[in-house]
């Protein structure tokens, strides 16, 4: 998986999880219902899956080391390889 797909899939999963958990937090009709759990648990799992995608695939394509969690990386800080997308 290239870096663009890693970022796309990782962030989509994280934001989808946040969206589901925000629904549970801000919709008063879901307060203390079993439906809230059926929305919150997949939201948490989605966020966790997004983080796992980043942990597994957020690596330099040249040296294979894990990249730092900062935006706007153009070069690998370890080997200097170009991270252009």
73: which 2 tokens? 């990386």
What is the average per-residue pLDDT within 5-25?
94
Bridge partners of residue 75, in order along the sequence: 82
| Total domains in the fold of the chain | 1
**pLDDT given for residue 72 in this prediction:** 78
What is the average per-residue pLDDT within 55-83?
88
Give the separation between CA 52 and CA 14, rounded to whole angstroms: 10
φ and ψ at residue 59, rounded to 5 degrees: -130, 160
Q: What are the E-state strand segments in the chain?
A: none
Domain residues for the domain of 83 are: 1-85
For 16-59, what is each residue's pLDDT tens digit? 999 999 999 999 888 788 899 999 999 999 999 999 999 999 99
**pLDDT given for residue 85 in this prediction:** 58
């Amino acid at each position: 998986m290239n870096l663009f797909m890693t970022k796309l899939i990782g962030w989509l999963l994280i934001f989808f999880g946040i969206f589901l958990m925000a629904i549970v937090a801000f919709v008063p009709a879901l307060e203390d219902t079993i439906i809230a759990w059926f929305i919150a648990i997949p939201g948490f799992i989605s966020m966790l899956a997004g983080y796992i995608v980043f942990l597994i695939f957020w690596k330099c394509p040249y040296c294979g080391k894990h990249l730092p969690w900062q935006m706007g990386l153009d070069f690998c800080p370890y080997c200097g390889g170009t991270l252009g997308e």
